[in-house]
């Protein structure tokens, strides 16, 4: 069972973030970490590999410094890493990301592709769908447990009514949400071994991607502006009169805010 986990380098979730003049995130100003949702995908892949054997590859599209983040995934136990990096990729939107990852996946042997269900920075949750479409593969999304066997993958997705159980033939693309098990800590010996594991760096040309379809200029979406949510709070004190008047006050209060 060969598994590719597509992982993203994101800014540390606890760090203060700021945007550059072109509306893109200033990634150099904050520490980078593995997208925490992707850690669940890596943990899931490690468990499958430990049970069934095979190879686990981490695939990342990101800036030049992403190898350090990929090494954390390698330290968790992945076998090798591939970074697709190219100056032309700066400002790429989700469609371009999906396109580049799909191109890279064409060069990698796999039975299963796993993603974290979203990233903690953009939070789009779309890239795996784009990859599945471009590769013409079945997709299962937002599952918290999967079983693999008999040429199929079966996932369990939380729904309003309980769990949906969704099945697809392999090869398939699956996005993993928070699992019942926590991602493992990298052991310290594995951290030291990670630097000796294979980590390939591919350019856009290496994956056969069209530079005209990626980057800020080709993006289908643009950041029009940003502002912090207001943290101002106002307090209105209503001194209850009789029950009827009070009930009407509450109802009017909620209706004015379109809450009822």
Partner 1 sequence: MNFTQSSDVEMVVQTVRDYVEKTLLPQEMAVEHAGQIPAALIREMGDLGFFGLPFDEADGGIGLGFTGYTLAMEQLGRANAAYGVLLSASSGLAGATLALAGSPEQRARWLPALAAGEMLGAFGLVEEGTASDGRGLRTRAVPDGDGYRLNGAKSWVLNGPDAGLYVIFARLPGDEGTGVFVVPAATPGLERGARQQELGLHGVGICEIRLTDCRVPAEGRLTGGPGGDDPGLAVADAVLTRYGVTVGALAAGGASSLLDAALAFALQRKQFGQPVGAFGAVQNMLADSAVEVYAAQQAVYRAAWEIEAGHTDLRPAYQAKLYAGEALYRVADRAMQVHGGMGFMKELWIERGYRDARTFRLLGLTGEELRPRIAQALGCPTQ
List interacting residues with partner 1 (CB under 8 A).
68, 71-72, 75, 185-192, 194-195
Output 78 or 168, the one with its CB closest to partner 1: 78
CB-based burial of residue 137 (10 Å sphere; 0-12 exposed, 13-18 middle, 19+ buried)? buried
Provide, rounded to whole angstroms, the least separation between the CB of residue 64 and partner 1: 14
Task: Tell me the closest approach of the beta carbon of residue 199 to partner 1, in angstroms.
Answer: 12
Shortest distance in whole angstroms from residue 183 CB to partner 1: 11
Write the DSSP string, the chain. --EEEEE-EEE-TTS---B-TTSSB-GGGS-EEE-HHHHHHHHHHHHHHHHH---EEEEEE--TTHHHHHHHHHHHT-SEEEEE--GGGTT--HHHHHHHHHHHHTTS--SEEEEESS-SSS----HHHHHHHHHT--EEEEESEEEEETTEEEEEEEETTEEEEEEEESSEEEEE---SSPPPPPPHHHHHHHTTS-EEEE-TTTTT--GGGSSTTT-S-------PPP-----------SHHHHHHHHHHHHHHTT--
Question: Residue 83: how many CB atoms within 10 A of its CB?
Answer: 22
Which one, 3 or 76, has the nearer CB to partner 1?
A: 76
Rounded to a whole number of angstroms, the minimum distance from the CB of residue 14 to partner 1 is 10
CB closer to partner 1 out of 33 and 168: 33
Cβ nearer to partner 1, comparing 42 with 113? 42
Nearer to partner 1, 24 or 190 (CB): 190
Nearer to partner 1, 143 or 194 (CB): 194
Q: How far is the CB of 146 from partner 1 (least distance, A)?
A: 24
- The least distance separating partner 1 from the CB of residue 247, rounded to whole angstroms, comes to 35
* Shortest CB 184 distance to partner 1, Å: 9
Cα distances from 260 to residues 163, 237, 247, 253, 257, in angstroms, run 30, 21, 13, 9, 8
CB-nearer residue toward partner 1: 181 or 185: 185
């Amino acid at each position: 069972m060969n598994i590719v986990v597509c992982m993203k380098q994101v800014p540390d979730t606890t760090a203060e973030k700021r945007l550059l003049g072109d509306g893109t995130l200033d990634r150099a100003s904050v520490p980078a970490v593995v997208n925490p949702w992707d850690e669940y995908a890596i943990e899931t892949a490690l468990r499958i590999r430990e049970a069934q054997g095979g190879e686990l590859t981490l695939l990342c599209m990101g800036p030049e410094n992403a190898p350090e983040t990929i090494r954390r995934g390698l330290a968790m136990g992945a076998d090798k890493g591939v970074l697709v990096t190219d100056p032309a990729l700066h400002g790429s939107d989700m469609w371009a990301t999906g396109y580049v990852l799909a191109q890279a996946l064409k060069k990698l042997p796999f039975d299963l592709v796993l993603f974290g269900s979203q990233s903690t920075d953009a939070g789009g949750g779309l890239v795996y769908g784009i990859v599945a479409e471009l590769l013409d593969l079945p997709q299962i999304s937002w599952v918290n447990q999967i079983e693999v066997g008999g040429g199929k993958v079966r996932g369990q997705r939380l729904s309003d009514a309980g769990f949906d159980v969704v099945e697809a033939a392999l090869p398939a693309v699956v996005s993993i949400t928070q699992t019942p098990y926590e991602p493992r800590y990298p052991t310290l010996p594995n951290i030291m071994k990670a630097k000796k594991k294979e980590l390939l760096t591919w350019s856009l040309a290496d994956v056969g991607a069209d530079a005209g379809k990626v980057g800020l200029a080709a993006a289908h979406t643009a950041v029009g502006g940003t502002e912090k949510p207001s943290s101002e709070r106002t307090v209105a004190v209503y001194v209850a009169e009789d029950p009827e008047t009070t009930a009407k006050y509450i109802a009017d209060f909620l209706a004015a805010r379109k809450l009822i």
